[in-house]
Structure 1
Amino acid sequence: MDSPIENYLKRIHQEIAELKDGKPYSTIPAMANVDPDNFGICLTTVDGYIYEVGDTRDEFSIQSISKPFTYGLALADLGMDAVDEKVDVEPSGDSFNEISLAEGTGRPSNAMINAGALTATSLIKGSGGNGRFKRILNTYSAFAGRQLSVNTDIYESELKHGHRNRALAHLLRSFDIIEDDPTPVIEDYFRQCSVLVNCLDLSVMAATLANSGRNPLTGRQVMEIGPIERVLSVMTTCGMYDDAGAWISTVGMPAKSGVAGGTIAVLPGQVGLAVYSPPLDEHGSSVRGMATSQRLSRDMELHFVRAARTGKSAIRSTYDISASPSGIRRNDEAMDILRHNGHRARVIELNGDLLFAGTESMIRELSSLDQTIEFIILDLRRVDEVADVSLRLLGEARENLVAEGRELVLIDSDGALAATFEDVDREVPTFDTRTAAVEWCEDQLIAAYGDDLYLPSVVKVTDCPALSPLTGADAAALADRMEEREYDDGHVIRRVGQRFGGVFFILSGKISTSVPGPTGDRVRLTTLSAGMTFGELALGSDDRQETTVKAVGGVKVMVLTADAIASLESEDPRLAVELWKALTRDAYTRVDLYLRETAVRVRD
């Protein structure tokens, strides 16, 4: 199935590509000759899944997007107090290359403006045989999950034309913010801005920030949570310079832009976003990067106010119905069909919040299901909050499934998704319990891969599966000893504790069996339909009934009573032995079903 998220990204990429505002950065000549139509969008989740569309593998220089990562390395090296003495954490309200130094001390307002970034670079020291810049590059590479390199042409162009940054560095030296010769600091700062990345790299770097410093692709803990927390805080208030207020209002994610056209945004615990498009607005940010981020935040509900909870996978477990049958006792032919085709129906249990991250993991699972799976059962009983984006994406996923000839089935006792499918072309099967949903899917599979005989509504007692090992004459002889009974809907046929009352053969209708639960509520065990039997298991429990048996709708049965069985044993011992052999075989089959159903319930 096509992923609704991938389809959405393709749509907005096509729409936003029509924006022709802005111009590529031209102050550095080596960056001037770039195609303004280049445009890529990449999302990386905190569990390492990547969505990408457009020019996501074209390389460009990282520029100011380097600043948060160098700042984080300084914090990791020296601690917050030492770094705070050199660079503040307050928004400057100025553009990226303004002076913005505190009066008297010369301390830069924050590490996202150039003065603060130069200061952060100066704080990095060589270690373990690696010089300052090698350590910076290694850090960037660890965040990206691959070895990065420097574009020497851009570096030399920066070195030749970066007069304002030189002036800032010398000004910082005059205040002793930079404590040594500023020239090596300037050179390393220009090198870090000239590191080549692509849109995919930036999305992984952003996702590593979102994942508390652990790279979701490599699993490496690149940076501890303390520095990450501070970096994301400063990115929130200062990352977009003099446009930070508008950004946090409309997008609501920690972010950083670069004049080469890159933009990153971080939704902690959920996802890292990167956009690449060279044309810039008056604030030095990518026009299409801004538009894409605003659109995604609005449509996918990524603003931190909406997506405040940690984004873990919403999938609790997934399994096909062969591992977890409904508990309905079927005839042998139907059971054989389910053994061979039960894999065509799959249960996906969800839990927690269906915000963006939870929705993404659910949609990803749906999109990756094998084409042989015809029925997808979504169990929503443990879902707390459902965001609008979940409803939209699930509605589109359902349309895609139907187009492929597949069916979405819901376990939604609270009606959390009821409004999503009010206007669909055909009703979405929805059930209160897992057992009912699985039973419905079993019936569909039996009907599709068998025939009407496998789902009979009325069965002769001699055709009941429990008596199938007997000859026709023996089955008829037993039928002659039975009595017919009828029960209305809701009638309690057998109660817990009653003595053995005989073996009941269902001719038509259904019965349910249940036991008292730990809280006093009744726990349904199984449903039996036409052709099935009940009552005989009491013989294995000191002749006492262990379950309550209730009619579901009108039920007609034939009963081989306890007195009739006693007479049979004295009058026809051979037939009695054949009966018990047949019932024992049938009981073992049902116990196996009970055990598998109980295993699922224990896991729940």
Structure 2
Amino acid sequence: MKSPILSYLEYLHAEGKQNTAGAPAAYIPELGRVSPELFGISLATADGYTYEVGDARHPFTIQSISKPFSYGIALMDQGFDAVDRKVDVEPSGEAFNEISLTAGSGRPRNPMINAGAIVSTSLVLPEAAGRYERIRAAYSGFAGRDLSLSQEVFESEQSSGYRNLALGYLLRSFGIIEEDPSPIVEDYFKQCSLEVTCHDLSIMAATLANNGVNPISGERLLTDDVVERVLSVMGTSGMYDGAGNWITHVGMPAKSGVGGGIIAVLPGQIGVAVFSPPLDEHGNSVRGVEVCRRLSQDLQMHFVRAGRTGRSAVRCSYSVADSPSGSRRSEESRAVFNQHGGIARVYELAGDLLFSGAESVVRAVSDLEAEVRYVVLDLLRVDEVSEVAKKMIAELHSRLALEDRELLLVDPEGKLGDVDLPPELPGARVFGSRQDAIEWCEAKILTAFGTSFESPEHARIFESSLFEGLDHADALDLRSMMLERVFDDGERVLGPDESFPGVFFVVQGQVISSGTASNGRRLRLTSVNPGATFGESALIGARAGGVELTAVGRLETLFLPATAIAALEEMNKDLAIKLWRALTRGGYESLDRRLQEVAVRLGN
């Protein structure tokens, strides 16, 4: 199934193409020759999954988007105090190429303007291969692939970059740069001329969102405190003299480049990259700014709104075949579930369902095989559901419905609220417990595939596991000891403090067990369906232990009293032993299934 997030980006891309304002950066001749029609969007999550549309793989030069990364490398190499003595962190409120040096000290206002960026480059330790090679290798680590230089753009920058060279000499005159500035400015031109794609930049941004760890390679490139500093300066100064307007209306730390790229970072959640060469009066991509504004608005990405870290909301997932409801059923029913239970899948969610959490859910469901017909979202452990998450789940419901698939919600507290669905679609089914939702799926599976036996609604006693291994005579003897017991809908079968009187075989109807939680809430635990037994613990004199058993619908049972079992041990020891074996085997099989189901959930 196509992801709703990708569809949204395609819509955003098609809308953005209509905006033809701005022009490429002609003051660097090579950049002025780039086609203004190029336009790509890439969005990477903090766990490294990417969505991309348009010219997201078209190469262009990184330009000033390099500045926060070189600043981060300098902080790692030199430490905060040494870097702070050379470059300040105050917004300049001026264009990217203004001098903006602090009176007296000569420190650049911040590392996002050209003067400050040249200082950052000077503070990167050159190591054996040289300063530029150190920078190129570090950027490659952020991007997750080997980056290379655009020789044409570098030569164009060097042949026209007199102002930057002048800034280098001015910084040398103040002692901010302590060596010949020419090689440093040349390295700065080279770092700006490294070729990237929109996809690369989204991974670089996601690395910042992921606290300095590349989400694809797992390599740590910056420490947490350095990422905090880098993102703070990006937030106040990354968009130059448009920074105030940006942080107000978009609200994500960002950095633009005159090559037409923009990156934006929502810490803990996502990295965004846009490429479109036409620039506005601030030197920022016109389409890039508008895309980021729309993303912030539509997906609630403003850092004030989405302040908490949002990781994957999927706590675990499993099919009904891997972890059925726990209801006691016949062997035939269990065989059907084992074969066809994969058509229903459960996702247990947890934490806050913000954009990135909802994205992880949408991504997982979108990637499901076409055979999966029923998707259960369990929201019991979810704390908060944002408006954008509600919209994304509503879109997921709509897309599943269009493919004749169904979304089921376990949401007894109504955390999801009323989702806005198209009028032609029914609302999603809502259940009070995961047990109820899985049992609903199991009923659908039995209806669709349970053709090898008469009906899941009515079971035949002689096909029960109780009679397994018995010859005809023994089977008739055991059946003769069983009594018919009928209960009306809602009638109590066993109270919470009563002892089990014997073993029940369910012929028709259903028995549910329920208990009281510590908060006083009544919880449904399991159910017993036609063809299954309950009450085996009568053999050891056990009580219900706070659990109440209740009939659902007209309940017909065959009842083997504990007194009859005791009498059988005296009159027909061989038959009694066979019965004990059947009951014990059934109990161990049930326990083994539950242990396997727990293992499945813990392993996800």
The 8 Å contact of residues 314 and 347 in structure 2, kept in 1 or not, is answered as yes
SS in 2 for 1:149: coil
The 8 Å contact of residues 462 and 472 in structure 1, kept in 2 or not, is answered as no
Cα distance between partner residues in 2 of 1:154 and 1:353 = 45
Change over 3 Å in CA distance of 1:588–1:124 after alignment to 2: closer
SS in 2 for 1:509: strand
Cα distance between partner residues in 2 of 1:480 and 1:125 = 91
SS in 1 for 2:177: coil
Cα distance between partner residues in 2 of 1:309 and 1:516 = 34
Partner of 1:178: 177
Residues 422-501 of structure 1: pairs in structure 2 closer than 5 A: 425-451=425-451, 453=453, 455-459=455-459, 466-467=466-467, 470=470, 475=475, 478-495=478-495, 498-499=498-499, 501=501
Please report how far the alpha carbon of residue 490 of structure 1 lies from its aligned counterpart in structure 2 after TM superposition. 4.3
Cα distance between partner residues in 1 of 2:601 and 2:105 = 66
The 8 Å contact of residues 47 and 216 in structure 1, kept in 2 or not, is answered as yes
Change over 3 Å in CA distance of 1:601–1:157 after alignment to 2: closer
SS in 2 for 1:334: helix
Partner of 1:538: 538
The 8 Å contact of residues 502 and 561 in structure 2, kept in 1 or not, is answered as yes
Deviations 1:358-396 (A, max 9, x none): 111111111111222222211111111111221112122
Partner of 2:346: 347
Partner of 1:153: 152
Please report how far the alpha carbon of residue 286 of structure 1 lies from its aligned counterpart in structure 2 after TM superposition. 0.4
Q: CA RMSD in A?
A: 2.7
The 8 Å contact of residues 90 and 109 in structure 2, kept in 1 or not, is answered as yes
Pairing 1:265–2:264 present: yes
Change over 3 Å in CA distance of 1:364–1:134 after alignment to 2: same
The 8 Å contact of residues 494 and 500 in structure 2, kept in 1 or not, is answered as no
Cα distance between partner residues in 1 of 2:435 and 2:344 = 13
Partner of 2:45: 45
Residues 158-557 of structure 1: pairs in structure 2 closer than 5 A: 158-420=157-419, 425-451=425-451, 453=453, 455-459=455-459, 466-467=466-467, 470=470, 475=475, 478-495=478-495, 498-499=498-499, 501-514=501-514, 524-539=524-539, 541-542=540-541, 548-557=548-557
The 8 Å contact of residues 443 and 455 in structure 1, kept in 2 or not, is answered as no
Change over 3 Å in CA distance of 1:463–1:183 after alignment to 2: closer
The 8 Å contact of residues 52 and 199 in structure 2, kept in 1 or not, is answered as yes
Partner of 1:90: 90
Residue type at the aligned position of 2:185 = I
Please report how far the alpha carbon of residue 70 of structure 1 lies from its aligned counterpart in structure 2 after TM superposition. 1.4
Residue type at the aligned position of 1:534 = F
Please report how far the alpha carbon of residue 90 of structure 1 lies from its aligned counterpart in structure 2 after TM superposition. 0.7
Cα distance between partner residues in 1 of 2:521 and 2:389 = 33
Residue type at the aligned position of 1:513 = S
Deviations 1:282-312 (A, max 9, x none): 1111001001111111111111011111121
Please report how far the alpha carbon of residue 45 of structure 1 lies from its aligned counterpart in structure 2 after TM superposition. 1.3
Partner of 2:123: 123
Cα distance between partner residues in 1 of 2:351 and 2:478 = 54
Deviations 1:95-151 (A, max 9, x none): 111121222222211111111112222223422x12222222222222112222222
Cα distance between partner residues in 1 of 2:381 and 2:17 = 40
Cα distance between partner residues in 2 of 1:532 and 1:201 = 57
The 8 Å contact of residues 333 and 456 in structure 2, kept in 1 or not, is answered as no
Residues 71-82 of structure 1: pairs in structure 2 closer than 5 A: 71-82=71-82
Please report how far the alpha carbon of residue 475 of structure 1 lies from its aligned counterpart in structure 2 after TM superposition. 4.9
How many aligned positions are there? Answer: 602
Change over 3 Å in CA distance of 1:463–1:156 after alignment to 2: closer
Cα distance between partner residues in 1 of 2:36 and 2:358 = 34
Change over 3 Å in CA distance of 1:191–1:518 after alignment to 2: same
Cα distance between partner residues in 2 of 1:499 and 1:278 = 78
Residue type at the aligned position of 2:149 = V
Cα distance between partner residues in 2 of 1:475 and 1:427 = 50
Deviations 1:14-73 (A, max 9, x none): 110111000111011122111100000011111111111111121111111111111112
Deviations 1:309-334 (A, max 9, x none): 11211111111122222122222222
Residue type at the aligned position of 1:378 = L
Change over 3 Å in CA distance of 1:473–1:202 after alignment to 2: same
The 8 Å contact of residues 411 and 430 in structure 2, kept in 1 or not, is answered as yes
Deviations 1:74-113 (A, max 9, x none): 2112111121122111111111111212222222111111
Deviations 1:464-485 (A, max 9, x none): 5634655667555544444333
Partner of 1:133: 132
Residue type at the aligned position of 2:238 = G
TM-score, normalised by the number of residues in structure 2: 0.92
Cα distance between partner residues in 2 of 1:202 and 1:543 = 65
Cα distance between partner residues in 1 of 2:53 and 2:438 = 38
Cα distance between partner residues in 2 of 1:459 and 1:148 = 68
Change over 3 Å in CA distance of 1:354–1:556 after alignment to 2: same
Cα distance between partner residues in 1 of 2:137 and 2:23 = 32
Please report how far the alpha carbon of residue 566 of structure 1 lies from its aligned counterpart in structure 2 after TM superposition. 5.0
Change over 3 Å in CA distance of 1:11–1:559 after alignment to 2: same
Change over 3 Å in CA distance of 1:171–1:330 after alignment to 2: same
Partner of 1:63: 63
Please report how far the alpha carbon of residue 583 of structure 1 lies from its aligned counterpart in structure 2 after TM superposition. 4.2
Residue type at the aligned position of 1:52 = E
Residue type at the aligned position of 1:316 = R
Please report how far the alpha carbon of residue 200 of structure 1 lies from its aligned counterpart in structure 2 after TM superposition. 1.3
Change over 3 Å in CA distance of 1:289–1:516 after alignment to 2: closer
Deviating more after overlay: 172-181 vs 9-18: 172-181
SS in 1 for 2:98: coil
Cα distance between partner residues in 2 of 1:65 and 1:202 = 9
Cα distance between partner residues in 1 of 2:543 and 2:383 = 42
Cα distance between partner residues in 2 of 1:162 and 1:435 = 68
Residue type at the aligned position of 2:126 = G
Q: Percent identity?
A: 50
Partner of 1:103: 103
Deviating more after overlay: 594-603 vs 218-227: 594-603
Change over 3 Å in CA distance of 1:157–1:382 after alignment to 2: same
Cα distance between partner residues in 2 of 1:590 and 1:217 = 41
SS in 2 for 1:47: coil
Change over 3 Å in CA distance of 1:513–1:106 after alignment to 2: same
Residue type at the aligned position of 1:24 = P
Residue ranges of structure 1 left out of the alignment (5+ in a row): none
SS in 1 for 2:350: strand
SS in 2 for 1:200: helix
